[in-house]
Structure 1
């Protein structure tokens, strides 16, 4: 969701920079940013605390983050090509699951003003879903496994991971999708590309990288 469908990754950067400035640190740079994308909040928070040596516990950091972020989520919107893709998949009757590391609270805050559009998803799984064991967020594949299980239940189908497309923007999510066994469509933030190294090596022949969802060749993917 974040950075792939809606522009909340930019909001994360702005709010984190506010916190860092309070302690005379920062700003956040993309070499660290790419390590945080797609991770569960507590895991990402610990990386930030350790990297910048902040005098905060993970709980204190998350509380401060929540206070600042909650004032900004209503400003977020869809990234280029995202809304069009959702509408297209829905119109074709292709099952769609949203699997986000965001907690249910953050999901609601980020999407409350976009709720009608998010109804296009058949299944929504958030990072605090009790079926995802502690410590098994992305880059582990558990969230995708739960999402597919729910899709199969809803459609009385037997879709296999290798029949799925996983759309991601962050390295952790890409690794989760690959381990899950799906073909991955990787759309990094425009400013992240130069810090990602060899994208083809990360994908290992199990996906492709785009600069925008607007570049997606639906026919080539059998959509």
Structure 2
């Protein structure tokens, strides 16, 4: 969701930099940012605290960023091609699941004004779902495996991982998608390319990189 469907990754950066500036630290650049994308919130926060050596506990940092995030979430919007793709897949009766590391509380804050798109998902799994074992967020595949299990249950199907497309924007998410056994459509943030390294090696023949969801070749996948 974040950074793939909606522009919240940019808002995360803005909020983080506001907190860092309070302590004469920062800014958060993409060499660090790329390691945070898709991680459960507490893991990403701890990485920031450690990297910038902030004199805050995890709870104190979370309190500061949450207050700022709650102001900014209602301003977030769909990224290019995202809403069109969701609507298209829904219109073709393609089963679609949203699997996000965001907690349910944050998911609702980010998407409350964007229901026209998010209401079209058949299944929504958030990072704090009790069925995901502790410590098994992305880059582990558990959230994607749960999403597929729920789709199969809802539609009485037996869709296999290798029949799935998983759309991701960050390295932890790509690792999770690969581990789940799906074909990965990787849409990195435009500013991330300089720190991504060899994207072909990362995908290892089971995915592709797009600069935008608007460039997805639907016919290639029989959509």
Give the paired residue count. Answer: 223
**Residue 114 of structure 2: SS of its match in structure 1?**
helix
TM-score by structure 1 length?
0.99
Per-residue deviation at 1:57?
Answer: 1.4
What displacement does 1:116 show? 2.5
Q: CA deviation at 1:37?
A: 0.3
2:200 equivalent to 1:183: no
Whether 1:19 and 2:35 are equivalent positions in the alignment is no
* Match in the other structure for 1:133: 133
Q: Show CA shifts across 1:129-176 (max 9, x none).
A: 000011100000000011011101110111111110000000000000
Q: More displaced, 55-64 or 124-133?
A: 55-64
- State the SS of the aligned residue for 2:190: coil
Task: Give the structure 2 partner of residue 70 of structure 1.
Answer: 70
Aligned mates of 1:130, 1:57 — CA distance in 2: 25
Residue 156 of structure 1 is matched in structure 2 by: 156
SS at match of 2:219: coil
1:80 alignment counterpart? 80
Q: Which residue of 1 aligns with 2:29?
A: 29
Q: Structure 1: which 5+ residue stretches go unaligned?
A: none
* Separation of aligned partners in 2, 1:175 and 1:117: 26
- TM-score, length basis structure 2: 0.99
Structure-1 residue corresponding to 2:61: 61
**How far did 1:215 drift?**
0.7
1:39 to partner: Cα distance: 0.2
Distance in 1 (CA, whole Å) between partners of 2:127 and 2:202 is 23
> After TM superposition, what 4+ stretches of structure 1 lie above 2 angstroms from structure 2?
none
Q: Extract unaligned runs of 5+ from structure 2.
A: none
Whole-Å Cα distance in 2 between the matches of residues 222 and 208 of structure 1? 16
* Cα distance in structure 1, aligned partners of 2:51 and 2:169: 22
Match of 1:211 in 2: 211
